[in-house]
Amino acid sequence: MPGLRPSKRRHRVHADVELKLIPVMSLLVVLVPMLLQTAVFQKVAAISMSLPSADEVRYLEEPTPEELARSVTVAMTDEGFVVASGDETLERVPLTTEGGYDFEALAAALARVKRSFPSQEALVLLVEDAVRYEDVVHAMDRARPHFPHVSLADRVQAPAEE
């Protein structure tokens, strides 16, 4: 269809059409504070750990020497981490010069240990009484990529040690 020449009569200039934004504004003013109030900026997560239930017989079974030799433990002491398997000490991670735990070195040490125990999924964290909870959680974080099942245990300071 050939283009028609626009009529010369239609020359009325429309004034600027103003959008009626006031109702939208009212809506936003109500919605934004409401959402701001319910917004969760700090998400809470959980670290699961199950204790053996009292009626589980498995709890009472002694680990076989074989199992003990394969087990990996990390002791958290006031001198740093000690990674061990059974009775054998594998790695020692001393404290940093500032006196804090050296989590990066622990992660590296655990990666090395994982290579010698590729099938081991569990790790026991032996923690001394005075260790801060935050450090325990951070140590669990570092251990989880290599050993998904991290459990906590109490480290009793052996009186015979030194």
Partner 1 sequence: MPFSPTKRKKHFRRRPREMTLQITSMIDVFTILLVFLLKSYSTEGHLINIAEAIRLPTSTATLEVARAVSVGFNDRALYLDGELLVEDVTPYLASDEMAIPPLLRALEERAARVKEVAAKNPSVVFTGEIVLQGDREIPFRLLKKVIYTAGQAGYVNQSLAVFQEE
Contact residues: partner 1, CB under 8 A: 12, 18-19, 21-22, 24-25, 28-29, 31-32, 35-36, 38-54, 76, 127-134, 136-138, 140-141, 144, 152, 154
Beta carbons within 8 Å of 137's beta carbon, 6+ residues apart: 47
Tell me if residue 154 falls in helix, strand or coil: strand
To partner 1, the closest distance from the beta carbon of 65 in angstroms equals: 27
| Among the listed residues 118, 124, 147, the one whose alpha carbon sits nearest the alpha carbon of residue 136 | 124
The alpha carbon of 91 is separated from its chain's Cα centroid by a whole number of angstroms, namely 23
To partner 1, the closest distance from the beta carbon of 146 in angstroms equals: 13
To partner 1, the closest distance from the beta carbon of 148 in angstroms equals: 12
The answer to whether the beta carbons of residues 84 and 93 sit under 8 Å apart is: no
Whichever of 114 and 142 has its CB closer to partner 1, that residue is 142
CA–CA dist 95, 102 (Å, integer)? 6
- For CA atoms 107, 109, 114, 115, give the dihedral sign: positive
Whichever of 86 and 122 has its CB closer to partner 1, that residue is 122
Whichever of 36 and 158 has its CB closer to partner 1, that residue is 36
To partner 1, the closest distance from the beta carbon of 37 in angstroms equals: 10
Whichever of 116 and 145 has its CB closer to partner 1, that residue is 145
To partner 1, the closest distance from the beta carbon of 71 in angstroms equals: 20
Amino acid symbol at 22? I
Whichever of 4 and 45 has its CB closer to partner 1, that residue is 45
The answer to whether the beta carbons of residues 85 and 70 sit under 8 Å apart is: yes
